[in-house]
Every structure is written in C-alpha cells, then in structure tokens.
C-alpha cells in the first residue's frame, strides 16, 4: 500500500508494515516536550496516576520559555515545580534561565530531533520539527503525562495534502510570507487533522529557517502536522547537530493525497494577516495606511538568526518612528550571541529598539510587550486572535521580520522596499 511521508514514519514507530488514514495506532515516541505552562499540568497528572519513573530521561525535554525569567510569583511556582521534577528524574534536557531558548527554536538547534523521528509536545506549535522531516505534533498535557511514563501515545493516522513548491522567493519574501499566503488560500481549517507535506523544486529556494517557520504554522491551517521532504539543505543543518542514527522517509510516488496544491514561489508577495485570524491575508502593497503602536520581531516562528539578519538589514542606519515601541527577541542564547557577534544588537539598539532575553512572553500577551486597548502591533508571531497579545480591543497584524522592521521605521504597515537602503 502506498503511503505518505507522515504515514511511513507512523507505521515504522507503530511496528506495522503499513497504515492508512483514519486508522488508530499506538506509536513509539522519540521525544516528549513540555514548557513552563504545560509541564506542571502534566506533572500533576503523572503523579496522580501513580507513575514513579519516566520511560527515558534522555527523551523528555522541558523548556522554561514562556514566563522566564519569572514574571511573577505564579510563574516562579510553575518553574519551581518543573525544576523539581527534572531533578527528581535526572532529565538530561531541562532548559532554564541561562540555557533556555524558545522551545521550538531550541530543540532543532540542540540536535534533539532528526529526520524520521516522532515527537509530541504539550504545545500546539510542536509541528515545527516537520521542517526536519520528522513527525511532530502538539498534544494535551494529559497525553504528555502518559507519554513521559510509557514512551508511547496513540494517533489517528492523518490523511494528507501535498503542497508542491516551484519557483523562487523574491527579494524580501520569506517563509513567513509563504505560509501566510497558503493559509490565506485554504483557511484556518483548510487542512483540519491532515498532514501538509511539502516537496518540489521550490524547496531549493527555502532555507531551513524558512521551513521551520512554515512547519510551525501548520496548526494555523488546522493541520495535524507539517512536514518537508528531506534534502541537502536539511542534511547540512542536521549533520552539524545530530550524532545518532536516523532514518529518512520519502512519500511513495503514488501516495494517497486528499488534495494537491501547486504553489509558485515567484508569485508570493510580502504578506500580512490582518486581525483576527491568520487566514485574513493581504499583500502589503494592497493595504491602505495603517498606523501602528508596536512591533515585535521574535517568537518560535521568527526568532532565528536569518530573522535577526533580515531585521538588521532594514534597521541599519535607520530609527524607529516616534511613538512606536520595537521589541526584538532572539529565540535562543546561541542566536543572541551570534547576533551580538555580527553587530545586530548594536544596530537594533541604535535604531531605538529594545532587545530581550529569549522568551515567548509577548506572543501570548504574557509579558515583555502586552498591548493596551486600541493599540495595534505588527508581530512576527503566529497568531492574531482577539486578545492574543493583550487587551481584547487590541489588534495584531502578522508579518515577516522584514515587513515588521520596515513598519517600525515608518510607523505604518510598510513594504521593506519603502525603507531599504540595499
């Protein structure tokens, strides 16, 4: 029986020769992930269930990234609970202040996920790791608790949508524009409980960071996961980080897909998602003047070194518009250090931006950039729901780092070409 890429990975981890869409299976896991918000719930369930050991201390990862350094007493208590659990079971991959980063940027950087592996995380954007040819998806904290004890979980095998990429990205267009464009085409439920499987000659135009961004936002189209065919770009990234055996899976030529989407990268413009859904997309060049109060460049979606480079390219020698707050958050300590080495942090500060330690804080309206009533933000994050970054009467416009940086300079949502000096 022909299978998609995701189905082949799931079949292998379930010990089956083949699986089909809709089938319920129990599959072995290579990695289980939680953060400072979701891990405490899983820990409580783990204890309440009477578990007294974890299945593999090297395959459970906890990252304190949402409210750390602790923003208040409650955040401190949550992190203390995770810290105690990690110490009790001697977890190999516990990341706290000083070593932590935003989880979905940190795990690939640390080589904790590889092609052909399975990962679940108590965070909806765990689908990020499909950029590396892995099957990864978000689950609830109760599922995380059971997985920490057993090393397995159940899945309903997803059907799939094939996304065939052709062409090349134009100047200033990035993976964020690609995924916003796609979500605008199919809607926030257009891939409900399906795999989005990316392949085609256009992959050569997408950096690993473009792919991580695109896979990260699979959930914003309702997908179970997003996954990319493994190629030289994948392997160049993986081989610097992963020192264990892994298996590369490829979809069969006659794999069953529910739908084929042909996406020509030549045709994709700089794109923005207007409030209050990621599907509410428009080309930046088609927008009327929209005044903004804040810009955020960072998050698990767009906090990698290429994102910092794009922002620095725009902001160099420029200054943030009067009345605009510009917040830049490198996704990991390594990204922070590399940005420092390249001079990006000085560029940002000279332009009137503030640079933060890695945190998810402003993305979910937690801290480090909460919006007041009536305020508008251009953000490189992944969601713009009502109240997502603060007050329910605030507005979030999703965009790429280049568009966000350009908008910070003009005080209006702007195309990078309007301000670029290069």
| pLDDT per residue as tens digits for the range 387-409 | 898 999 999 999 999 999 999 99
Pairing of strands 281-283, 271-273: antiparallel
The pair of structure tokens assigned to 197 is 């499987």
Residues of the chain with pLDDT under 50: none
CA torsion sign, 278 to 284 to 287 to 290? Answer: positive
Report, in angstroms and rounded to the nearest whole number, the Rg of the chain calculated over CA atoms: 20
Q: Which among 310, 293, 261 has a CA at the least distance from the CA of 369? A: 293
Question: Given this model, what pLDDT does residue 362 score?
Answer: 85
Q: Does residue 226 contact residue 127 with C-beta atoms inside 8 Å? A: yes
| DSSP secondary structure code for residue 284 in this structure | G
The per-residue pLDDT for range 308-349, each reduced to its tens digit, is: 999 999 999 999 999 999 999 999 999 999 999 999 999 999
Question: Given this model, what pLDDT does residue 68 score?
Answer: 85
Q: Does residue 165 contact residue 199 with C-beta atoms inside 8 Å? A: yes
Which domains, from first to last, does the chain contain?
5-265 (3.30.499.10), 271-418 (3.30.499.10)
Question: Given this model, what pLDDT does residue 240 score?
Answer: 84
Distance CA 263, CA 219 (A): 19
Distance CA 173, CA 402 (A): 8
Question: Given this model, what pLDDT does residue 112 score?
Answer: 97
Question: Given this model, what pLDDT does residue 192 score?
Answer: 92
Distance CA 414, CA 392 (A): 24
**C-alpha dihedral (137, 151, 104, 122), degrees to nearest 10:** 60
Question: What is the residue whose two structure tokens read 């932590």?
Answer: 100
Phi, psi values for residue 33, rounded to 5°: -125, 140
Phi, psi values for residue 398, rounded to 5°: -85, 135
Question: Given this model, what pLDDT does residue 226 score?
Answer: 97
């Amino acid at each position: 029986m022909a299978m998609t890429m995701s189905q082949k990975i799931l079949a292998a981890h379930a010990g089956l020769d083949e699986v089909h869409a809709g089938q319920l299976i129990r599959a072995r896991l290579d990695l289980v992930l939680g953060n400072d918000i979701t891990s405490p719930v899983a820990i409580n369930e783990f204890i309440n269930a009477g578990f007294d050991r974890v299945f593999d201390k090297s395959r459970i990862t906890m990252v304190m990234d949402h409210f750390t350094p602790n923003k208040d007493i409650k955040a401190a208590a949550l992190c203390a609970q995770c810290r105690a659990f990690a110490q009790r079971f001697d977890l190999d991959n516990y990341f706290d202040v000083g070593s932590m980063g935003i989880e979905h940027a940190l795990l690939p950087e640390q080589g904790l996920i590889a092609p052909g592996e399975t990962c679940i995380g108590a965070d909806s954007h765990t689908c990020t790791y499909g950029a590396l040819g892995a099957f990864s998806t978000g689950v609830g904290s109760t599922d995380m608790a059971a997985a920490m004890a057993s090393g397995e979980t159940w899945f309903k095998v997803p059907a799939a949508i094939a996304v065939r990429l052709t062409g090349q990205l134009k100047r200033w267009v990035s993976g964020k524009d690609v995924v916003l464009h796609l979500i605008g085409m199919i809607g926030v439920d257009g891939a409900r409980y399906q795999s989005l499987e990316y392949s085609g000659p256009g992959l050569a135009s997408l950096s690993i960071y473009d792919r991580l961004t695109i896979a990260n936002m699979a959930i914003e189209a309702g997908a179970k996961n997003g996954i990319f065919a493994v190629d030289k770009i994948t392997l160049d990234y993986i081989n610097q980080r992963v020192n264990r055996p892994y298996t590369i899976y490829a979809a069969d030529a006659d794999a069953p897909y529910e739908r084929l989407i042909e996406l020509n990268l030549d045709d994709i413009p700089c794109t923005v998602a207007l409030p209050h859904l990621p599907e509410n997309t428009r080309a930046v060049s088609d927008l009327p003047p929209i005044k903004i109060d804040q810009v955020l460049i960072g998050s698990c979606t767009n906090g990698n070194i290429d994102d910092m480079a794009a922002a620095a390219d725009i902001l160099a020698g420029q200054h943030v518009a009067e009345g605009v707050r510009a917040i830049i958050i490198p996704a990991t300590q390594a990204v922070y250090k590399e940005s420092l080495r390249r001079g990006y942090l000085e560029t940002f500060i000279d332009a009137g931006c503030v640079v933060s330690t890695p945190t998810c804080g402003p993305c979910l309206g937690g801290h480090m950039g909460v919006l007041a009533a009536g305020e508008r933000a251009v953000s490189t994050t992944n969601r713009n729901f009502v109240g997502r970054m603060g007050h329910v009467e605030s507005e979030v416009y999703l965009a790429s780092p280049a568009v966000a940086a350009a908008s910070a300079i003009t005080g209006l949502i702007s195309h990078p070409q309007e301000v670029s000096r290069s």
